[in-house]
Chain A
Amino acid sequence: MAAAKAAGVPANPIGEVTANGKLGVRTARGPLEWDVSVLRVGWETSIETAMKRPGLG
């Protein structure tokens, strides 16, 4: 953080990596939480799922 300040680069600590498989976010409007493995499935399989539908020809 000090090095960033010295370089004139804004730097904000925003959290920590955990082992619990959850993404938790505290915001000014309230807390958010997701199961990382669920997010990952949607992210990882979206194109594959779409491509299982028939294309022309």
Chain B
Amino acid sequence: MKRAGLPPNPDPVLNQLVTPELVKKHGLLPDEFEQARRHLGRDLTLTELGIFSVMWSEHCSYKNTRPLLKGFPTEKSGATAEFGRVLVKAGEENAGIIDVGDGWAIAFKIESHNHPSAIEPFEGAATGVGGIIRDIFTMGARPVLLTNSLRFGELDSAATRRLLRGVVAGIAHYGNCVGVPTVGGDIYFDRSYEGNPLVNALCLGTLRHDQIRRGKATGLGNPVYYVGAATGRDGLGGAAFASRELSAESAADRPAVQKGDPFMEKLLIEACLEMMAVPGLVVGIQDMGAAGLTCSTCETASRGGAGIEIELDRVPQREPGMNSYEIMLSESQERMLVIVQAGREGEIEEVFAKWDLHASRVGSVTDTGRMVVRHHGVPVADIPASALTDGAPVYQREARRPAYLDESSRWTPEGAGLADVGIAGAQAALPRLLSHPTIASKRWVYRQYDHMVQHGTVVLPGSDAAVVRLRLGPGEKFIAISNDCNGRYCYLNPRRGAMIAMVECLRNLVCAGATPLAMTDNLNFGNPYKPENFYQLKECVAGLAEACRFFDVPVVGGNVSLYNESPAGAIDPTPTVSVVGFIESEAHITRQFAGSPGGRLILLGGAPSEIGGSQFLGIIHGMKTGDAPAVDLDAEKALQGFLLGQIKAGRVGAAHDLSEGGLLVAVCEMLFGPAPLGAELDLSGLPAPRQDALLFGESQGRPPTSRR
């Protein structure tokens, strides 16, 4: 193997020998480093080591999850030529796109910013929102809504309160300033997330079919433009940082957390959409998100089967003396890479000048298949683009069923000697359940978000699903969106817990009057090198895939976030699911709030009968055990079809999913609407092996409804 075949880097600091210690510090295994050397046929420079380390991180390469993700359905078998086709599939681009009829489509995706938020909650969460918005408008779509899925430790911890305060403020700051409404989300509080919060942000945008753009570099000689904010030293190596466990030393990784500017992003949205509206001007476009300039150049080149050469002197920089390593690995925000049709450079420069944004020609498309980077005229990296993308290593990790599952799956309340709840116990339990932060109103959170900007929000945060009116040219359509995942269930039964996340999300949409359309997921797990963690991941993916296939809901995109561990251990497995549903008519929109006195309450699906994995066990008895509630997909499909049919027929006044806290909590939430209401229930005739299971159990597929 030859020594580095490139001339010395203009910055002498970067000419040091790449040692095994440096390789380890960059998160590459010795075998992976050897593989990188084989791709080059020589030793790597330090800049190239940085490039390989971020591109082969889990965050960018999915090296531990790619084989699993292939099990997800990516097409909708019930789609027609007029509605429901997947136009851009999962993994193809920055976000998936699905047809919603009349030549219109929606692009949506969820992505995590867990590690940055653990270190710098405000900036971490804010830039998570900014990043997911860019993933949407890079597809040519105008962002119209945001949601988020958050997980924290218990609020009795001052550290957790600091994280919650910072994360919510960061989301509110970015979303409110950029002018995209945050219409919904979900939050759980559980000790397993102590020190490692989950911050998953979703964005959805609308576009016409002919506005879809791709992240491909094609056309020999086409100019490559860098547009948006200047590059600084913030966010250095963020993708690699997100691909290792959090530790006591993680605070030292603060430079890996990016700084966001939502006002800059707003300008970038408008400039990019204006540029993309010019026929034939844009050949390809990609966000500079994780791994920044590195990822956007090699991914666009690889997708286009081309090469790219860039000159770093032309990259707008906001700090003096940045070297090639820093420029290539910076994750400064609000930047995009655009491949423009040759000869039309003046047109893009004019658009960006109008919006007071940088538009700098940094290079061009080549036919070499290589990503060549020059700095001060000297080549500092020369790598086959495909080596960084398709050539990344892929692993089949060892999976081992965790020992605790044997105990928890055998657990029964009778076997554990857990006395059934009596009248006094039930009387005391309900207020305690309702005031636990996981079940309690999230008003303190969503009141900080602007959920009305753009004037499309029909059902506000606080109901089973958000409903948004999409104004599409002269017409309008209604969509519903919901997030779900009960990590407690996934901990106790990974496969079933993931299925529950999916069916519960679908049920939420049906309760709102929507037909589920497509799904995006965010797989949040611990370190995959630990066989027990990988077992949880593998089982959860299998459960999700089975439910998606059964309900014909394709996965159109998503994100994987591994290494979610603090010194106390791994988080509960949390495969967050977000499903978008379509509402045929405004008259079908249904809320969870019982409208007026006299309404008859009907419980669909039968009496709840299980207590395992419930919030009642956790909050009242301090136990996280038992099996997750049973899921019967056939029964669930029948239930959801029936409920949706009744809603469409105008027979349902309110519908609400029975979930955390059980039946009495669900009924209370139906009563907590705009008007003060009460209810008189008679549960004495329902079959109930245990009162606690009937009143507070979380058996699936039991939505209480009220008749119109």
Interface residues in chain A, defined as those with a beta carbon under 8 Å from any beta carbon in chain B = 1, 3-4, 7-32, 34, 36-40, 42-44, 46-48, 50-51, 53-57
Contact = CB atoms under 8 A, between A and B. Distances in A.
Nearest to B431: A42
B638 A9 contact: yes
Contact of B681 (A25, A36, A55): A25
B599 interface: yes
B132 interface: no
Given A47-B442, A55-B161, A29 B422 contact: yes
Contact of A36 (B161, B440, B668, B684): B668
Given A3-B651, A23-B681, A43-B672, 16 more contacts: A9-B638, A12-B603, A12-B686, A14-B683, A16-B598, A17-B595, A17-B671, A18-B680, A25-B682, A28-B691, A36-B668, A39-B430, A39-B668, A46-B441, A50-B161, A55-B163
Given A27-B684, A47-B155, A17 B642 contact: no
Interface stretch (B227-235, B257-265, B362-370, B604-612): B604-612
Contacts of B602: 1, 4, 11-14
B249 to A, nearest CB: 18
B677 interface: yes
Contacts of A29: 422-423, 691
A39 B428 CA distance: 11
B601 A15 contact: yes
B679 interface: yes
Contacts of B678: 17-24, 36
Contacts of A56: 158-159, 161-162
Contacts of B158: 53-56
Nearest to A54: B158
Contact of B671 (A14, A23, A48, A55): A23
A19 B603 contact: no
Given A15-B682, A17-B601, A36-B671, A3 B676 contact: no
Contact of B642 (A4, A12, A54): A4
Given A17-B601, A50-B437, A36 B594 contact: no
A15 B688 CA distance: 17
Contacts of A53: 158, 161
A1 to B, nearest CB: 7
B159 A10 contact: no
A15 B681 contact: yes
Nearest to A37: B676
Interface string B400-436: 0000000000000000000000110011001100111
Contacts of B599: 16-17
> Which 10 A/B pairs are nearest by Cβ-Cβ distance?
A55-B161, A55-B162, A15-B681, A42-B435, A46-B440, A19-B597, A10-B606, A46-B435, A17-B599, A43-B434
Contacts of B706: 17
B603 A14 contact: yes
Nearest to A13: B602
A47 B441 contact: yes
30 contacts: A3-B642, A4-B602, A7-B645, A12-B686, A13-B600, A13-B602, A14-B681, A14-B704, A15-B682, A17-B679, A22-B678, A22-B680, A23-B671, A24-B679, A25-B682, A26-B682, A29-B691, A36-B668, A39-B431, A42-B440, A43-B441, A43-B668, A44-B672, A47-B437, A47-B441, A47-B442, A50-B156, A53-B161, A55-B160, A55-B162
A18 B679 contact: yes
Interface in B69-114: none
Best-buried of A4, A9, A19 by chain B (most CB within 10 Å): A9
B165 interface: yes
A32 B423 contact: yes
Contacts of A22: 678, 680
A28 B684 contact: yes
B667 to A, nearest CB: 7
Contacts of B641: 7
B375 to A, nearest CB: 39
Contacts of A31: 423
Contacts of B601: 13-17
A51 B155 contact: yes
A29 B607 CA distance: 16
A55 B166 CA distance: 10
A15 B679 contact: yes
Interface in B129-160: 155-156, 158-160
A10 B231 CA distance: 60
B399 interface: no
A31 to B, nearest CB: 8
B664 interface: yes
B439 interface: yes
Contact of B604 (A4, A42, A55): A4
Given A16-B600, A17-B598, A19-B597, A9 B605 contact: yes
Contacts of A54: 158, 161
B596 interface: yes
A4 B426 CA distance: 30
A17 B431 contact: no
A16 B679 contact: yes
Contacts of B645: 7
Contacts of B434: 39, 42-43, 46
B681 A26 contact: yes
A4 B651 CA distance: 12
B317 interface: no
A34 B679 CA distance: 10
Best-buried of A8, A22, A24, A36 by chain B (most CB within 10 Å): A36
Contact of B426 (A10, A15, A26, A32): A32
Contacts of B688: 28
A7 B163 CA distance: 47
Contacts of A12: 602-603, 606-607, 686
Nearest to A22: B678
A28 B684 CA distance: 5
A42 B429 CA distance: 12
Contacts of B635: 9
